[in-house]
Amino acid sequence: MLKTNFLDVELSNPLMNASGVHCMTTKELDELATSEAGAFVTKTATRDYREGNPEPRYYDTALGSINSMGLPNNGLDYYLDYVIERQRAGAKLQFLSVTGMSYDENIALLKKIQESEYEGVTEFNLSCPNVPGKPQIAYDFELTDKLLAEVFTFFTKPIGVKLPPYFDIAHFDEMAKILNKYPLTYVNSVNSVGNGLYIDLDKEQVVIKPKGGFGGLGGEYIKPTALANVRAFRERLNPSIKIIGTGGVINGKDIFEHILCGADLVQVGTTLHKEGVSVFARLTKELQEVMKEKGYSSLDDFRGKLKVI
C-alpha cells in the first residue's frame, strides 16, 4: 500500500529520517537502515570532523524542538566510507548529506563524491542556520545560482538540495526559477525554521546555549510552513524534480498532507528525536489507516492532488 519508487528503486514506504536526527554515527545509521523507514540520510558532513556548538544545543518543547547544533559531524570520509561499504554489500538507495564551510569546500566535497565509487544520492544542504557568522546559502539567490552552475559542470550523480523555508511568494518564484535551470533529482523542503527563541518561563531563561538561545525550530510549529513550501515548489518546479517534504510530521495524517501537497518522500526529524526509530512503524501504520478510511490503495491515488476552492 505504501510502496513508492525513487530513482527506479522500490521503497517499502516513503518515510526517512531528516538529516541531523539519529544519523551521526554508524550505529545510529545501522539502526535506521534496519528500521521500518523506507530510506535514510546521513548527518550533514563537512570536510573535517566538527565538534559543533556547546551544549545544551537541542531542546524538546511541547510543540516541537529548538536546536543550534552547529554541524557536529564525523567528516565526509566517515559517511562516504559507510555508504560505499553498504553499497558494496548491495544497498540500493542511500542519501549522503553534505555541506561546505565555504564556497570552495562545497565544490571540493562534491568533487570527492563525484570521483568516488558512490552511486547513491547526495543531499546538498544549502540551509544550515546554526553556524555563527555563516548565513544560509539558500537565502542568497545569486550565490545559490552561481554555486549550482559550477556544481553541474562536473557533477553527474543524483543530487538534491535541502532548502530552508521561504515565506514570500516572490521568493518561491525566484528560487524555483533558479532550481529549474539544473538537472536536480529533488528538492527537500524544509530545513528548520531558523532562529526562533524558546523561553523557560520559570527560569526566565533561554533553553539552549549557543547564540544566546536562538535556534532552528522543528515539529508541530512548522507544519503549515513546510506544507506551503512543498506545495509552492511542486507547483513551480519541473515535473522531473522530485520533492521531499520535511517538517511537522507527528502522525500519519501529517504524512498524508505532505503527499497531498506533492511530496514524493517525507522526512521526520523532531518526532524521530522524541520517539526513536520505532516511530517509523507507528507512522506507516497510521498512514495506512488514514488511506484505508479515505478509500485509497496507493500513494499515487492522492499525491499532489490537493484541492483549491
- Please state whether the peptide bond connecting residue 56 to the residue before it is cis, i.e. omega within 30 degrees of 0: yes
How far apart CA 113 and CA 254 sit, in angstroms, is 34
- Considering only residues 39 through 58, tell me which ones interact with ligand DHB, judged by CB under 6 A: 44
Asked if residue 128 binds ligand DHB (CB under 6 A), the reply is yes
User: Of 9 and 63, which CB lies nearer to ligand DHB in the complex structure?
Assistant: 63
Q: Please report how close the Cβ of residue 99 comes to ligand DHB at its closest, in angstroms.
A: 7
**How many residues contact ligand DHB, by CB under 6 A?**
14
Chain centroid offset of residue 157 CA: 18
Asked if residue 71 binds ligand DHB (CB under 6 A), the reply is yes
Asked if residue 225 binds ligand DHB (CB under 6 A), the reply is no
Q: Residue holding cell 514570500?
A: 168
Side-chain-side CA neighbours of residue 260 (13 Å): 16
- Can you state the angle between helices 223-236 and 252-260, rounded to 10 degrees? 30
Asked if residue 216 binds ligand DHB (CB under 6 A), the reply is yes
**Part of the chain binding ligand DHB (CB under 6 A), chosen from 8-16, 68-76, 149-157, 256-264:** 68-76
How far apart CA 101 and CA 126 sit, in angstroms, is 11
Residue 123 has phi, psi (to 5 degrees) of -105, 110
Over the window 175 to 204, marking each residue x when it contacts ligand DHB by CB under 6 A and - when it does not, the resulting string is ----------------xx------------
How far apart CA 218 and CA 226 sit, in angstroms, is 10
Over the window 5 to 44, marking each residue x when it contacts ligand DHB by CB under 6 A and - when it does not, the resulting string is ---------------x-----------------------x
Q: Please report how close the Cβ of residue 44 comes to ligand DHB at its closest, in angstroms.
A: 5
